[in-house]
Chain A
Amino acid sequence: GAVVSQHPSWVICKSGTSVKIECRSLDFQATTMFWYRQFPKQSLMLMATSNEGSKATYEQGVEKDKFLINHASLTLSTLTVTSAHPEDSSFYICSARPRVGGRPSSYNEQFFGPGTRLTVL
């Protein structure tokens, strides 16, 4: 249990285009999903916290109009990188926190997806 998937696993796009990344919890309902960005040889940086049915909360310095987050259901969150530029090239990782009291855990740990590598030319 506790599987989180991301789609696509990698994407290459031209500068100026928008890219949508999906994050799904496959076998549990996720009250909260998180989006991270990771540059080569660096740690994960939290971008935003997404709660089902409400607006995402962005970390300081993250442009909410550039990184659009939608959390329409308890199993799906999407991150759209709008008007992507080469500096947006990165490894984007999502995680999901199970619904409190639900399976597979009641301890509120996050389960991570495999990541999406975005390359903007």
Chain B
Amino acid sequence: DAKTTQPTSMDCAEGRAANLPCNHSTISGNEYVYWYRQIHSQGPQYIIHGLKNNETNEMASLIITEDRKSSTLILPHATLRDTAVYYCIVRLTSGTYKYIFGTGTRLKVLA
């Protein structure tokens, strides 16, 4: 499975967009990019995923570069409740479907 690298921590002002980058330079053509977040002492929560195209849902947008070697998760209007650790995961489209978590980005939304 491809390895992902993310910044250790980021701050964002409440109401502003939070842009969380992820590098997955060794990704292969049959691997999805998934984003999850984990609020303290809870299980991870699914946010969004994509393969090649940019994706948007009610929580966030996912921008994947054309070469697929990196992606950015965008929370359009961050709130204090978005403070969490955000994990970018690359997963095969077949086989075991297992996730290998990286270190994640600790996002702190400031009032």
| Residues of chain A having any CB pair with chain B under 8 Å | 4, 6, 32, 34, 36, 43-46, 49, 57, 91, 93, 95, 97, 107-115, 117
**Interface residues of B toward A: which range?**
20 to 34
Known: A49-B96, A97-B97, A107-B49. A43 touches B44 (CB 8 A): no
Q: Which residues 15-54 in B have Cβ within 8 Å of A in the complex?
A: 32, 34, 36, 38, 41-46, 49
A44 near B97 (CB under 8 angstroms)? no
Provide the bound-state CA to CA distance between A57 and B96, in Å: 10
Q: How far is the CB of A24 from chain B (nearest CB, A)?
A: 13
Provide the bound-state CA to CA distance between A107 and B96, in Å: 13
Provide the bound-state CA to CA distance between A44 and B42, in Å: 12
B98 near A43 (CB under 8 angstroms)? no
Which of B59-67, B69-77, B99-107 is near enough to bind chain A?
A: B99-107
Q: Encode B68-111 as 1/0 by CB contact (under 8 A) with A.
A: 00000000000000000001000101001111111110000000
Closest-by-CB residue of B relative to A9 is B41
List 21 A-B pairs, Cβ < 8 Å: A4-B43, A34-B99, A36-B101, A43-B87, A43-B101, A46-B98, A46-B99, A46-B101, A49-B96, A93-B44, A95-B99, A107-B49, A108-B91, A108-B97, A109-B49, A111-B46, A112-B36, A112-B45, A112-B46, A115-B42, A115-B43
